[in-house]
Amino acid sequence: MNFQDFYWADSDIESINIEYDRATLVIWNDALQRRLAVACSGFAGMTNLCIWDDTIIAGTSVQPAGDADNEFLRDLYKAYSKNKDFGGRSLGDGLLEMKIELVNGISFRVYCQKIEVFERDVSDPYAQE
């Protein structure tokens, strides 16, 4: 399922699991009253996550990262060539920037190559897709 097809405001982030090539956000979607997993594969990194006391989403967006000029992307492209294959993945294939703004007014960004949404069984929120 496509991340942008969902209404995320007022939803609650329950967990974030980061692995080598994947970040998975488990979110209780308030509009649907369902638990969903947002799987970000080809994971490059995450910025500015500040969830001290706020896990409720205010808004979201997804766009190609392109050559956006920010500190994270400058560091990433300085450390890793866009033209090199790193275990079957290449930065030359492009990155997506998923921006999530929390109700505390602070946004964090997830950089990855593919974003998919999966429904989760309410009785087992951490089951594999």
* Per-residue pLDDT tens over the stretch 89-103: 899 999 999 999 999
In sign, the C-alpha dihedral spanning 16, 5, 64, 112 is positive
> Helix (H, G, I), strand (E, B), or coil: what is residue 78?
helix
Predicted TM-score of the model (pTM): 0.89
Burial status of residue 54 (CB atoms within 10 A of its CB: 0-12, 13-18, 19 or more): middle
- Do residues 45 and 12 lie in contact, with contact meaning Cβ atoms separated by under 8 Å? no
Q: How far is residue 71's CA from residue 76's CA, in Å, rounded to a whole number? A: 9
Amino acid identity, position 52: W
Residue 115: its H or E element:
strand 114-119
Which pLDDT band, with edges at 50, 70 and 90, does 106 fall under?
A: very high
How much of the chain exceeds pLDDT 90, in percent? 77
Q: Which token pair is 110?
A: 């997830």
Which pLDDT band, with edges at 50, 70 and 90, does 128 fall under?
A: low
